[in-house]
């Protein structure tokens, strides 16, 4: 019998909650910063809105995915793709590494969540 805190599925569930909460925080509470970033990167507002809809949707899927494996896979896979796009954007605009780290961290966690579904 494994201890709850060391159970891999429990740790993945914690990662799902933290990832979803951080995305919801940034895209809801700190939305003004998102607007500024997209303007600084010369990206259209329609793209910002589409990315926001997808990120919030995938974050919610991660939360529901605690109970439904299919939604966990869709949410984690979708966030992984969006984080790859975010990393490419940070590289394109030559952002310093500290501005790239959140996208890299979310990509890493999303991939771990996704891979956990196939183990």
User: Tens digits of per-residue pLDDT, 90-100?
Assistant: 999 999 999 99
For the entire predicted model, the pTM comes to 0.92
Phi (first) and psi of residue 30, to 5 degrees: -105, 30
- How many angstroms separate the CA atoms of 59 and 66, rounded? 11
Going 21 to 112 to 67 to 58, the CA torsion angle's sign is: positive
- How many angstroms separate the CA atoms of 110 and 9, rounded? 14
Structure confidence by residue, pLDDT tens digits, 5-37 = 778 889 999 999 999 999 999 999 999 999 999
- How many angstroms separate the CA atoms of 21 and 26, rounded? 9
């Amino acid at each position: 019998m494994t201890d709850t805190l060391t159970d891999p599925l429990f740790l993945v569930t914690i990662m799902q909650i933290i990832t979803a909460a951080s995305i919801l925080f940034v895209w809801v509470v700190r939305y003004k910063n998102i607007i500024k970033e997209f303007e600084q990167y010369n990206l259209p507002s329609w793209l910002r809105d589409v990315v926001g809809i997808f990120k919030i949707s995938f974050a919610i899927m991660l939360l529901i995915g605690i109970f439904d494996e299919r939604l966990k896979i869709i949410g984690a896979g979708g966030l992984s793709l969006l984080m790859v796009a975010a990393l490419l954007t940070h590289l394109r605009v030559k952002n310093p590494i500290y501005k790239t780290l959140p996208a890299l961290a979310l990509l890493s966690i999303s991939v771990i969540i996704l891979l956990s579904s196939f183990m």
